[in-house]
Amino acid sequence: MEMEARCRGQRYLCPISGIDIIMPDLAFAFEEVTVDRDGVRALDGFTATVPAGGVSAVFGPSGAGKSTLLRLCNRLEVPTSGRVLFRGRDVAGLDPLQLRRQVGMCFQRPTPFPGTVAENLRAADPEASNTEMTAVLERAALIGSWLDRDATALSGGEAERVCLARTLITSPDVLLLDEPTSAIDAEAASLIEQAVLDQATGGMTVIWVSHDAAQVERVADRVLRIDHGRCTAVDGAPSR
Amino acid sequence: MNGPVSWLGLVTSLALVAVAVVVSMWRHLGLGWQIAWAAARALVQLLLVGVALGLLLTPGRSLWWSWAWIAGMVIYAGDVARRRAPEVPRMASLAIASFAAAAVITLGVTFGLRVLPLNSRTLVPIAGMMVGNSMTATVLAARRLVDELRDKRDEVEARLALGQPSRLAATPYVRAALRSALSPQIETTKATGLVFLPGAMTGLIIAGVSPVHAVLVQAVVMFLILGATATTTVVVALGLVVRVFTPDHRLRPLPLGGRKRG
């Protein structure tokens, strides 16, 4: 509760320096987070904050712990030690199902479910109307009339955008992206980048994991640099 | 010996085991000793079971001995299932629970509704056929479900990431595992009488029972096996879902899989 009050007051007490600093509204705060998996330390005392709004990129080499960090945000993984705070509240104390509807996630490889595009969208929102589904497809840079298409027969880029639409239909406050363009062509990647930037402009907080420096330069408002499981720097990326 | 097969007949039938050994030697399969060992072991086991059943089925013997026999059989079957599916977490207890559930349902219907008279002579063989015939499907369902969840981990986690509870996220994979495990039994049931004559019926006919009565018994046994298989597979699959997901709806690491994450 104390942390929540501090975040609401736009102040954050850095656990390392002990300095109470003024921050914009925080979406996530990571406090000395360590994750050990199969005898390997994926995160090693990671400490950083992610402000609400805009696009925050998590940038680092392969194996640095980027995906693990992302999976902590919606509790697909839990820390071995340390805390992850969502809007000032420890995610360990939140209902994971509710958290995951507030914090949507797109994975590195497209994961369309067997069935039509509409069935994929209804897996996320069983109550969704055709109008809502058409609108969300268009938000993900897809053709709205594709509802009857077989989702597993789409190209990689199209499938990734269906997955993006499937995540967006739950109206999340935060969008986690785990290198969603790493396995698709440049044109499809550009469509996804633009679609995500549109969401960020609309007020959604985006956390985008990438190891592509050019892409980070294009999309990010700020960059969390990660290496060997630790946050090595937090930069602004003013080019956008 | 009063039955249709004498000791000499049994020894003579070993010639058929010799045929299998000869085939192995001829084609250099290296299975000769295994075949001989399997036949010898089966014979010894059957003789021991025959002696034990003889004691169990003695007129006047309490039915509790039969229930104890069934309990022992279910526990041993759990251990066999564990050895057949080593990659399935805590398979033995799951299998025991599934066989116990199937026993309650199928024996409850068979004897509770007086389809067959309840005595040691019917109870023990019927329970044995129930456990023995549902074993393969039970193991198959568990292995298939673990394979599905491990191989499609990304897809499962995508469902979880949408806020689906673990039981709902697992539903398509449970369905696939159950269909795969039940299909062979359904096919076998369809082919009964046309492609093969089942063991119980054949045994009864050889023992001198009229074919129509043998068919009636066989039909009951067949339906019992179908019901038992459906029960054991669904119990093992749903039990497995509880075990492979955490209470906070995360998929636990599953053996023989998992990708490194960046």
**pLDDT per position as a tens digit, A195-208:** 999 999 999 999 99
Reduced to 3 states (helix: H, G, I; strand: E, B; else coil), residue B231 is helix
Minimum Cα–Cα distance from A228: chain B residue: B262
Reduced to 3 states (helix: H, G, I; strand: E, B; else coil), residue B165 is coil
Rounded Cα distance, A180 and A178, in Å: 5
Per the CB < 8 A criterion, the answer to whether B236 and B98 are in contact is: yes
CATH architecture of structural domain A52-78+92-236: 3-Layer(aba) Sandwich (3.40)
Q: What global pTM score does this model have?
A: 0.84
pLDDT digits (tens, 9 = 90+) for B127-161: 999 999 999 999 999 999 999 999 999 999 999 99
Of B162, B248, B258, the CB nearest to A96: B248
For residue B84, the model assigns a pLDDT of 94
Return the minimum-mean-pLDDT range out of A171-175, A185-189, B11-15.
A185-189
Average pLDDT over residues A25-41: 93
For residue B138, the model assigns a pLDDT of 96
Rounded Cα distance, B179 and B242, in Å: 20
Average pLDDT over residues B35-44: 96
Whether pLDDT at A67 is above 70? yes
Minimum Cα–Cα distance from A209: chain B residue: B262
Contact B172 A170 (CB under 8 A): no
Do the strands A40-51 and A26-37 form a parallel or antiparallel pair, or are they unpaired? antiparallel
Q: Average pLDDT over chain B, rounded to whole?
A: 91
Average pLDDT over residues B76-86: 95
Do the strands A20-22 and A11-13 form a parallel or antiparallel pair, or are they unpaired? antiparallel
Identify the residue among A41, A75, A90, A228 best suited for mutation to test binding to B, counting B beta carbons within 10 A and taking the highest: A75
User: Percent of chain A beyond pLDDT 90?
Assistant: 77
Q: Is A151 exposed, middle or buried (0-12, 13-18, 19+ CB in 10 A)?
A: buried
Do the strands A55-59 and A205-210 form a parallel or antiparallel pair, or are they unpaired? parallel
Contact B249 A97 (CB under 8 A): yes
CB-based contacts of A103, cutoff 8 Å, min separation 6: A73, A74, A86, A172, A173, A174, A176
pLDDT digits (tens, 9 = 90+) for A164-179: 999 999 999 999 999 9
Length of chain A: 240
For residue A24, the model assigns a pLDDT of 55
Rounded Cα distance, B135 and B229, in Å: 8
What tokens appear for B146 in the block? 């673990």
Does any CB of chain A come closer than 8 Å to the CB of residue B8? no
Whether pLDDT at B237 is above 50? yes
Long-range contacts of B22-30, Cβ-Cβ distance < 8 Å, separation of 24 or more: none
Residue showing tokens 């930069």: A235
Average pLDDT over residues A176-193: 89
Per the CB < 8 A criterion, the answer to whether B261 and A42 are in contact is: yes
List Cα–Cα distances, A148 to A115, A133, A165, A202, in angstroms. Answer: 9, 11, 15, 28
Whether pLDDT at B73 is above 80? yes
CB atoms within 10 A of CB B238: 16
For residue B259, the model assigns a pLDDT of 39
Taking contacts as CB-CB distances below 8 angstroms, the residues of chain A near B168 are none
Contact A123 B159 (CB under 8 A): yes
Name the maximum alpha-carbon separation found in chain B: 72
For residue A21, the model assigns a pLDDT of 55
For residue B261, the model assigns a pLDDT of 44
Q: How many CB pairs under 8 A join A and B?
A: 69
Does any CB of chain A come closer than 8 Å to the CB of residue B261? yes
Minimum Cα–Cα distance from A92: chain B residue: B248
Q: Where are the domains of chain A?
A: 52-78+92-236
Of A63, A77, A170, the CB nearest to B162: A170
Contact A101 B163 (CB under 8 A): yes
Of B158, B165, B248, the CB nearest to A75: B248
For residue B1, the model assigns a pLDDT of 55
Q: What does the buried/exposed string (b/e) look like for A205-226 if buried means 16 or more CB atoms within 10 Å of the residue's CB?
A: bbbbbbbeeebbebbbbebbbb
B195 falls in which pLDDT band (50, 70, 90)? confident
For residue A203, the model assigns a pLDDT of 93
Does any CB of chain A come closer than 8 Å to the CB of residue B259? no
A15 falls in which pLDDT band (50, 70, 90)? low
Taking contacts as CB-CB distances below 8 angstroms, the residues of chain A near B176 are none
Residue showing tokens 């023990």: B124
CA of B81, closest CA in chain A: separation in Å? 27
pLDDT digits (tens, 9 = 90+) for A89-99: 999 999 999 99
Region for residue B247 given its phi and psi (left: phi exceeds 0; alpha: psi -120 to 50; beta: otherwise): alpha
Does any CB of chain A come closer than 8 Å to the CB of residue B154? yes
Q: Which residues on chain A place their C-beta less than 8 Å from a C-beta of chain B?
A: 38, 42, 62-68, 71, 74-78, 96-98, 100-101, 104-105, 107, 109, 111, 113-114, 123-124, 163, 166-167, 170, 179, 209, 211
Residue showing tokens 């790493």: A182
Whether pLDDT at B29 is above 90? yes
